[in-house]
Amino acid sequence: MKQLSLFALLCMTLLLVACSDEPAPPVVTPSGVDLSQALKLEWYEMVPEDWQPDTAFEGLGLEEMDDEDPRVAAAMARIRQEWDRAPVIKALDGLLVKLPGFVVPLEGDGRKVESFILVPYYGACVHVPSPPANQTVYVTIPGGGEVRGLFDTVWVTGKLRALAQSTPMAQAGYTIEALKVEPYE
């Protein structure tokens, strides 16, 4: 009976320790950056409140067109032009952030990726139009990193820059030099 009581006390102690509000130990990069201090950023927080992306569709009469209408190409070009100029939030520049998203690889050898676009939803940059620039992040991984595949879902941690990058897939309004890329769980 005494052993059972000691076992119960040990289990209760372990449960209390596991449920405590103690912060996780810091994860520090070789360059001394504490990744646990990164701001978890949501995609909507990267879009200025006064920017309305749907204004690019106004007056185009898209509801009256079918896919074969020759005016569709002109309408898509206008939308693309507006979305490529989508404003970013300059106050985010320089912040250490952790951002979830989907990977669209740009440079790599099939095993390691050196750069990719991070987008907020599956299929972005493959379907037309690609997301607005303020919803597209150009990510570089110094030395390359593993990504499981096209449209892998990841967390990217690094310094966010309000620095536009033009890529073959999309115009990115932000850039991150990744300090850590990990699977989204």
- What pLDDT does residue 128 have? 62
- What pLDDT does residue 53 have? 78
- What pLDDT does residue 168 have? 86
Note whether 146 and 176 are same-domain residues: yes
* Residue at 28 is within a domain: no
- The rounded average pLDDT for each run of 10 residues, N- to C-terminus, in the chain (185 residues) is 41 40 60 86 95 79 82 83 93 97 80 86 68 94 75 90 92 95 87
CB 180 within 8 A of CB 139: no
Local structure of residue 148 (DSSP, 8 states): -
Report if pTM > 0.85. Answer: no
- What pLDDT does residue 157 have? 96
- What pLDDT does residue 110 have? 65
Note whether 77 and 108 are same-domain residues: no
One-letter amino acid at 105 equals: P
Q: Which domain holds residue 126?
A: 33-47+88-185
Note whether 154 and 73 are same-domain residues: no
Number of folded domains in the chain? 2
- Reading the block at residue 65, the tokens are 């067109």
Local structure of residue 27 (DSSP, 8 states): -
- What pLDDT does residue 14 have? 37
- What pLDDT does residue 22 have? 53
- What pLDDT does residue 84 have? 92
* Residue at 146 is within a domain: yes
- What pLDDT does residue 28 have? 66
